């Protein structure tokens, strides 16, 4: 990501735009949460449905494997290849209950410190939730992420 030196620039690189989109998503989540409170949960499953449709139509394959453990193992292996996070892992707590750990997120330094997100779900966790629903055929329980200076932790389990 380009560093903000205080100087004005006439170009934006891909990472700058991705950072802005990441911030916009948090802003929308926070605004709807502030206005609707727990009513924002009604948006979760339609959003996850859209993520799966986009994945199918564009050929982005987030699902590789026959069972949830293997699919999450592969998801954790391929996500860092995108450069969005250096470490991704799933901690299995019980059958169909995991904690997604995102370490060294590319946006954490900019977004987490600036927006101090609370009561919102990490966008990478939303991807994992969509994968969970596709593999299990069950709806996921929307959970807010815990934000650290360089990443997040999010519980992923069924309703």
- pLDDT tens column, 60-89: 777 778 899 999 999 999 889 988 899 999
Given this structure, which CATH class describes domain 14-157?
Answer: alpha beta
Q: Which of 3-12, 35-44, 74-83, 95-104 has the highest mean pLDDT?
A: 95-104
pLDDT above 90 (res 100): yes
Distance (Å, whole) CA 158 – CA 140? 4
- pLDDT tens column, 14-24: 777 777 776 77
CA atoms lying within 13 Å on the CB side of residue 65: 19
Beta strands in the chain (DSSP E): 85-94, 97-105, 146-147, 152-157
52 to 33, 93, 155: CA distances (angstroms): 23, 25, 19
| Whether pTM exceeds 0.75 | yes
27 to 45, 112, 114, 116: CA distances (angstroms): 19, 12, 11, 11
Residue 83 or residue 98, greater confidence? 98
Place of tokens 């100087």: 7
Question: What is the rounded (10 degree) CA torsion for 1, 106, 114, 37?
Answer: 140
| Rounded mean pLDDT, 82-106 | 95
């Amino acid at each position: 990501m380009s560093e903000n030196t205080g100087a004005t620039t006439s170009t934006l690189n891909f990472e700058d735009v991705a950072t802005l989109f990441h911030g916009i998503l948090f802003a929308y989540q926070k605004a709807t949460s502030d206005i609707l409170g727990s009513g924002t949960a009604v948006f979760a499953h339609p959003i996850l449905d859209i993520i799966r449709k986009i994945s199918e139509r564009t050929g982005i394959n987030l699902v590789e494997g026959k069972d949830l453990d293997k699919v999450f193992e592969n998801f954790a292996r391929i996500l860092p290849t995108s450069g969005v996070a250096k470490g991704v892992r799933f901690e299995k707590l019980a059958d169909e209950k995991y904690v997604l750990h995102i370490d060294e997120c590319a946006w954490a330094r900019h977004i987490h410190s600036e927006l101090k997100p609370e009561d919102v779900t990490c966008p990478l966790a939303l991807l994992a939730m969509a994968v969970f629903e596709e593999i299990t055929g069950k709806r996921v329980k929307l959970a807010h992420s815990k934000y650290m200076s360089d990443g997040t932790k999010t519980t992923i389990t069924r309703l």
